[in-house]
Structures are given as C-alpha cells and as structure tokens.
Chains A and B, each alone.
Chain A
Amino acid sequence: MQTRSSGKIQRVAHRHEPEVSKQTGYPSAATHYMEAPIDLNKELVHNKDATFFVRMEGNEWSKLGIHSGDVLIIDRSFSPRKHQLVLAVEEGAFTLQRMPEASPHELCLWGVVTYVIKKVV
C-alpha cells in the first residue's frame, strides 16, 4: 500500500486501482532492462502542434490504398517530396494525391500524409 508522508504523520493515499505488489519473491531478472511501453503518440506524431487527423469518406482513393473510414495523420510541418501522399485543395475542395514530380499547376498543399490508420475489426 502506498503511503504519503507529511511530517511525522504517515497516511495512506487512496488509489482506485487494483493493488499489485512489487515482486516479493525471487528478484526479477528484468530489473535492469525495464523500458517505457510504446506510446503511439510519440511514434506516429512528429510535431503535435502541426498534426491533424482526418477521416476519409467514400472510396475514391482506393487506388491509393485508402478506403472509407480510414483516418489519416497529416503533418503540416513536412515539406513534401515527390510521390509522397498529400492532402491538397483544388477548387475549394480537399483532394488526396501523390506529390507530382513537376507541378503542372500551382498545387495548394494542405498537409503531408504521414500515416494511415485502418480499422480492421
């Protein structure tokens, strides 16, 4: 049980979690190998202040492997390289496309797609 000491008085800190004790028997072999668990926010979001999530509707982009309901992670801090998947704006509407090698027209970029999240269950 965790205790909190305030001066000479020790009181029990209430926690609403199951109480799991530290290993009380044989010392763990993993003691010196503990690491923080994987945090998707850290792995998938490079610059959180420039990152937006976007949900796709319809199957217009199934050729690009993107289907209705997929969530795209868009990072606006990236400068797109050719062939990268980008969210752009054409005639006032969003469109998804590969970054062309040489822009035939001025491409109005909204952000670079960094990951696609698919729900499969």
Chain B
Amino acid sequence: MIAMVDCNSFYASCEQVFRPDLWGKPVVVLSNNDGCVIAANKEAKALTDIPMFEPVFKIKDVLVKNNVKFFSSNYTLYGEMSQRVMNLLGTFSPQVEVYSIDEAFVNLEGMDHLDLHHYGMQMKETIFQYLGLPVGVGIASTKVLAKLANKIAKKKPEHNHVYVMDTETKRIAALKWAKIGDIWGIGGKHAKRLKSIGVFTGYDFTQLPLSWVRKEMTVVGERLWREMHGESCLDFRTLPKKKKAIGTAKSFGQKLEDLERIEEACAYYISEVAEVLRAQKSCASYVQVFVITNYHSKVDQQYSKSMVATMPIPTNNTFALITEARRVLRQIYKPGYRYKKVGVNLCGIIPQEYVQGNLFEQPPHTQNPNLIKVVDALNMKYGKSTVASAMIGTRINEWELIKKERSPRYTTQWGELLKVGGSELTIKSPIF
C-alpha cells in the first residue's frame, strides 16, 4: 500500500504555527513580489470573493474589508518546515518520495499486518503535534488511487483527514465519486476530450477498453488506467529529476527606464538561478534574457524582446553567466521605454561532469572552483546574497522587492526567532 500525505494550505499553515492570534482566522500568502495571492487557508477560501492568482492591487480592498491577514511569501520558512515534515514521514517508512513542497508518497509495502487507518492517523497526529501543521492522508494500493484517497480524506469531513481505500467496493465508490478532471494525471485537454465521449467519472474511464486508452493517450494513459485498476505502475522515485531549464523573472517595484538598474536586476536573477544550477551539479549551455514593459498600462509605449546566447563552454559560474547575460541585455534593451520586468532562463542543462572544454578554455569547474564554493557557503550560513557579484549593485532589496509583510525566518535565523512576551500581554499567574 502507498500513502499520499499532503499538508492543508501549507504556506498559510506555516505562518499560523507561529501566530496563535491568527488561529481560525483568514490568512493568505502573496507571490514572490507581492503580485498575486498564491495560497489561502480554508477560512480565507470561505470568503468566496477572494480570487486566487489575482493581482493584489485589484483585491486589496476585499482583503482589508474582510480582515484577511496577508503575508509576503517566506520560502525560507516554508522550505525548512517542509524538510521537517519529510523527515518525520521518514520515521514511518524507509521510503518517502517527496513529490512537492507539501506532498509526499510514503511506501507502506510490507506493512499490511498493521492497522493502516491507525498508522495514517499516527502520521497525521505526529506531524500536527511536532510541527503544528495539519495534513491529510490517503492510503491505497497505487499512487493514483492514493492521491484520490487523499482527496476523499480532505473533502469528506467524516473521515477526519485519513482515508484508507482497502477494498474493491471502496475503490469503485471512490472512482464513481471522482470527476474525470480530478484524477491525478488527466490534464485539461484530455478531460475535455473524455467528457465529449461520455466519460465523466474516474469509473467511466476504467470501463474504457485498454486498447483504446493506449492508442489515444499513449503509454502514459495506459499506466493511469492500470493504476486506477489497482495495478501499481508508477515507481517510487527517491531522487528528484534534474531540472532541464531554470529561470526566474519578477516584476520591478516601479517601472524602470535606466539600463544600469535593469542590469543589476538581471545580474541578481542570474545569481539566483546559478545557485540552483550548482546545487544540482549541472551546467547551462545557453542563457536567455528577456525584457518586457507593463502590458496593463494604457499610456506607456509597449516593447518586449527576448534573446538567447550560447555560452562558450557550459558553466554554472555566476560571474561567467552574468557577463554573458549582460551582453545579451545590452542588445535587446532599447532606451525610452518603461520596463516592468526582466527575466532570465538557463537552458541546455547538462551534468557538470559531462562538460567538455575546448581548445581555448577549460571546463568551468576546474577554473577557480573555490571562489564560488566560498560564496555559496557564506550565503548558506549568513542568508541569501550576503556575498554577491558587484554587478548586482546595492539595491538588492529592490529586486527581492516589496516583501513588506514577510514573517520572520523563525527556524533558520538566530536574530529572527519567535518572540514571546512583551508589554501587550497580561501576566498569567503561574501555578506551582
């Protein structure tokens, strides 16, 4: 059997752990540059007029009116809390596949002698006691069914966030309950097509002939079909897939005209993505840079342009990448526009050990690898961008952008620990 464990409104829950004054109150988390709402807890979702993924400036009034507490995203905190969740799950099984920041598959193979419902309850209760985070647990014979069981655990309150799909009757009932678009792995396009031929539920899908599924939806569809029949086809992956391309783009706090400032932002984003590249021990062959003006604006002249440059040698060296990206930026930048965004993408990503040098240059990891190692070590220890290329300039905070409402990094910075006490609290008489 396989358990799918996922945290309920993870980002908002992480914030609430350290803020008991917000327990039971609506909380939303905004995207990286405070642009959009990216997460909301159930209290906030209950206020149906808060649209997800809407720009904040459009809905600020609604948030304020409903007393919704909003936070800038604090990925440092969420990442660390996620790590703790995964570690705890590791005490329940030797094999845990971290699927996303707030979801994991837990392999329960060979544990059939246990009362799995009880075991699922234990997972839920341990994570809630140790971390204060609510989770849902779905247990079934395959990953696709576990994902569905998890949905049932969450959607049907009588199960109290733990649901075990351990009989054929339960499997069929669940599949009949699930809309076809809700099945993990069936995307919007397939869902639409399937509905047009009268397949509305997961159960309808399992009644299709396998030959048809294989022909129309390839082997991916076939695996899905088999998984839904209870035949496990998706392996447990404990190592993440390496990324094929890494990019970042954030809106500026205000519109920028000045090339120098845009260069600084560009250099900053390159440093961010190059760090990811080094963490997975890869190198990038190409760097893409794009600029864009604010398409929401009716008065500004519009312009956008993107360009790709080939690195002389695939590299993950921040400084080499910045130099190249800057060259590209200078070619696509046109003066006289008010830019809203600059973005970078690193593509053609290959493992670092496969990089070939050429006649004139050695592979990058053989050139001065210590400098970049020290930079990474310092930033790990003292926080992001403690040491960086001078190309970034001194306005780092502007590129990290309006993070006014970011909560403290409670679990990683000694200077930002959770504070208890202070004048506004009444003194509780302690009982001895």
Residues of A within 8 A of B (CB): 14, 47, 49-50, 52-58, 60-61, 63-64, 68, 71-72, 76-77, 83, 87, 89-90, 92-98, 100-101, 108, 110
Contacts and interface: CB of A to CB of B under 8 A. Distances in A.
A55 B430 contact: no
30 contacts: A49-B84, A49-B131, A50-B129, A50-B131, A52-B410, A53-B418, A55-B419, A56-B419, A56-B420, A56-B421, A57-B420, A57-B422, A58-B421, A58-B423, A63-B430, A71-B417, A72-B420, A76-B129, A76-B131, A77-B129, A77-B130, A89-B20, A92-B23, A93-B425, A94-B425, A95-B425, A96-B430, A97-B428, A101-B431, A110-B20
Interface string B404-432: 00000011001001111111010110111
> 5 tightest A-B contacts by CB?
A50-B130, A92-B21, A58-B421, A89-B20, A57-B421
A78 to B, nearest CB: 10
Nearest to B130: A50
A76 B132 contact: yes
Contacts of A71: 417
Interface of B: 20-23, 84, 87-88, 129-132, 370, 410-411, 414, 417-423, 425, 427-428, 430-432
Contact of A61 (B84, B411, B417, B421): B421
Nearest to B81: A49
Contact of A92 (B20, B411, B417): B20
A95 B428 contact: yes
A49 B90 CA distance: 11
Contacts of B84: 49-50
A96 B420 contact: yes
B20 A98 contact: no
B214 to A, nearest CB: 44
A52 B403 CA distance: 24
Given A54-B419, A55-B420, A89-B23, 17 more contacts: A14-B370, A47-B130, A50-B129, A53-B417, A54-B417, A55-B418, A57-B420, A58-B421, A58-B425, A60-B425, A61-B430, A71-B417, A76-B131, A94-B421, A95-B425, A98-B431, A110-B20
Given A52-B410, A71-B417, A92-B20, A98 B430 contact: yes
Nearest to B370: A14
Contacts of B370: 14
Nearest to A16: B370
Nearest to A101: B431
A63 B132 CA distance: 28
Given A50-B130, A93-B21, A100 B417 contact: no
B418 A54 contact: yes
B129, B419, B421 — most chain A CB neighbours (10 Å): B421
Contacts of B425: 58, 60, 93-95
B216 to A, nearest CB: 46
Nearest to B21: A92
